[in-house]
Amino acid sequence: MSRPSVKPETTVTPQVERLPLFRVVLHNDDVNTFEHVIAAIVRLTPLKPAEAVARTLEAHESGAALLLRTHQERAELYVEQFASLNLTVTCEPDA
């Protein structure tokens, strides 16, 4: 009786398609207090309080500050969540 031939295993590496990144940008306004903005950033994002303070100051001084980069669906969710707290945040494709 003959043995069945065994072919060596081949390793298949799946192609992982990465979602394009979007920038989540905080915009300065003359309405909200620093405390409100910082608390919102800490509450809604993974940023630590010190990072939230730095981003808030940057937005205050230059008009806008990058909060984070994420995929489009999550970026749009951040925009809605910040809007519910009367803060202006936009998202844009990360170039």
Residue 7 belongs to a domain: no
> Which residues does 69 contact at the CB level (< 8 Å), separation at least 6?
21, 22, 23, 24, 94
Does the residue 12 lie in any domain?
no
Residue 54 structural domain: 29-93
Average pLDDT of the segment spanning 11-36: 88
Query: How many domains does the chain contain in total?
Result: 1
Instruction: Say what the pLDDT of residue 49 is.
Output: 98
- Whether residue 45 is contained in a domain is answered as yes
Concatenated DSSP letters of the chain? -PPPP-PPP----PPPPPPPEEEEEEE--SSS-HHHHHHHHHHHSS--HHHHHHHHHHHHHHSEEEEEEEEHHHHHHHHHHHHHTT--EEEEE--
How many other C-beta atoms are found inside a 10 Å radius of the C-beta of residue 19? 10
Q: Is residue 33 part of a domain?
A: yes
Confidence of residue 95 (pLDDT cuts 50, 70, 90): confident
Q: What pLDDT shows up at residue 10?
A: 64
| Structure confidence at residue 91 as a pLDDT band (50, 70, 90) | very high
Q: What is the pTM of this model?
A: 0.81
In a domain, 24, yes or no: no
Residue in the structure block whose two tokens are 């951040």: 78
Residue 38 forms part of a structural domain? yes
